[in-house]
């Protein structure tokens, strides 16, 4: 374990073997940092924050600060997984007292400079938040999602797995798994075909997803009828059923929809 002499590590902080704390970092008393995690310099970690192994945190990141929402100092948490890269000026906040009490960030994620994860968010594994991408409170970002630079996701929104959110997009509605959205306000432009190909999805699976997408967002019938028809027609396709399950999981949430006929 290496702690630079200009760093401040408060009594009670727990640093595992191999942790490196660089110049002018400040580590609060309720912070736990896992093995081989590196704080390069000028990093502030406060609150009840737990960070896993093999993370790299670059200068002026602030993790575990109080939420920018009603908060009375409850001992809520920020929990970060393993092997994340957290770039300059990234901010992540502990949860408010009114939710589950924890903001969760997964593993193998990249948070580019000035990205923000608000209170009570859940960010799963292999997520990328590009420069200045911002999450409002209680947002759920599923695995392998990419948010482009300056994109913003409204509070309580969900973004499904393998989805892509274009730069500058303002996401005020839920984004289906495998979807691709952009615009202000964001709308569906199709499937995230580039991401699917890069991650090794077969031609057969991609073809199933494209067929299901056309059926789901056709103009005939009601949306509920199209959901049911798609579920029946593609019941054996796990990726398609992930989209159906995502939609059915919270019928009260609006969805990003296509602006034109598919």
Please write the tens of the pLDDT for every residue from 210-253.
999 999 999 999 999 999 999 999 999 999 999 999 999 998 99
Are 6 and 134 members of one domain? yes
Give the tens place of pLDDT for each residue, 160-194: 999 999 999 999 999 999 999 999 999 999 999 99
Domain boundary among 124, 141, 158: 141
pLDDT at position 260, please? 77
Instruction: Judge whether 239 lies within some domain.
Output: yes
Confidence of residue 99 (pLDDT cuts 50, 70, 90): confident
Instruction: Judge whether 163 lies within some domain.
Output: no
Out of 42, 48, 93, 119, which one is annotated catalytic?
119
Are 51 and 132 members of one domain? yes
Are 103 and 232 members of one domain? no
pLDDT at position 236, please? 97
pLDDT at position 159, please? 98
And the tokens for 260?
């034109």
Instruction: Judge whether 73 lies within some domain.
Output: yes
Are 27 and 130 members of one domain? yes
Are 28 and 112 members of one domain? yes
Are 209 and 102 members of one domain? no
Are 16 and 113 members of one domain? yes
Instruction: Judge whether 19 lies within some domain.
Output: yes
Residue 261 has pLDDT above 80, yes or no: no
Instruction: Judge whether 184 lies within some domain.
Output: no
Residue 129 has pLDDT above 90, yes or no: yes
Are 135 and 12 members of one domain? yes
- Specify the pTM: 0.97
Instruction: Judge whether 125 lies within some domain.
Output: yes
Give residue 85's domain range. Answer: 2-141
Residue 4 is a catalytic residue: no
Opening angle at CA 142, ends 138 and 145, nearest 5: 115
Residue 119 is a catalytic residue: yes
Give the Cα separation of 78 and 82 in Å (integer): 13
Cis before 139? omega within 30: no
Instruction: Judge whether 149 lies within some domain.
Output: no
Are 97 and 201 members of one domain? no
Opening angle at CA 14, ends 11 and 16, nearest 5: 140
Are 116 and 202 members of one domain? no
Mean pLDDT of the chain: 97
Q: Which residues, in sequence order, are CB contacts of 174 under 8 Å at separation 6+? A: 157, 158, 159, 160, 246, 250, 253, 254, 255, 256
Out of 22, 81, 136, 137, which one is annotated catalytic?
137
Asked if 9 and 32 touch (Cβ cutoff 8 Å), the reply is no
Out of 64, 82, 120, 166, which one is annotated catalytic?
120
Are 121 and 230 members of one domain? no
Instruction: Judge whether 135 lies within some domain.
Output: yes
- CATH code where residue 7 lies: 2.160.10.10
- CATH code where residue 217 lies: 1.20.1180
Residue 93 is a catalytic residue: no
**What's the rounded mean pLDDT across residues 3-20?**
98
Q: How many domains does the chain have?
A: 2
């Amino acid at each position: 374990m290496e702690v630079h002499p200009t760093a401040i590590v408060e009594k009670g902080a727990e640093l595992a073997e191999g942790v490196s704390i660089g110049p002018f970092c400040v580590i609060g008393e309720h912070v736990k940092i896992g093995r081989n995690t590196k704080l390069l310099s000028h990093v502030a970690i406060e609150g009840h924050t737990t960070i896993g192994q093999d993370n790299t945190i670059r200068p002026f990141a602030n993790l575990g600060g109080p939420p920018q929402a009603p908060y009375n100092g409850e001992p809520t948490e920020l929990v970060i997984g393993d092997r994340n890269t957290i770039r300059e000026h990234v901010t992540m906040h502990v949860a408010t007292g009114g939710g589950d009490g924890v903001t969760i960030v997964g593993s193998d994620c990249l948070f580019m400079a000035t990205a923000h994860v608000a209170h009570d968010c859940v960010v799963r594994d292999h997520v990328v938040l590009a420069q200045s991408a911002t999450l409002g409170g209680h947002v759920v970002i599923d695995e392998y999602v990419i948010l482009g630079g300056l994109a913003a996701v409204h509070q309580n929104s969900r973004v499904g797995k393998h989805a892509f959110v274009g730069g500058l997009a303002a996401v005020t509605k839920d984004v289906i798994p495998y979807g691709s959205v952009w615009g202000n306000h964001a709308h569906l432009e199709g499937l995230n075909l580039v991401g699917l190909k890069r991650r090794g999805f077969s031609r057969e699976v991609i073809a199933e997803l494209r067929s299901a997408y056309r059926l789901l967002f056709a103009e005939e019938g009601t949306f509920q009828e199209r959901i049911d028809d798609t579920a029946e027609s593609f019941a054996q396709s796990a990726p398609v059923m992930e989209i159906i399950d995502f939609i059915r999981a919270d019928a009260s949430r609006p969805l990003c929809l296509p602006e034109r006929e598919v």
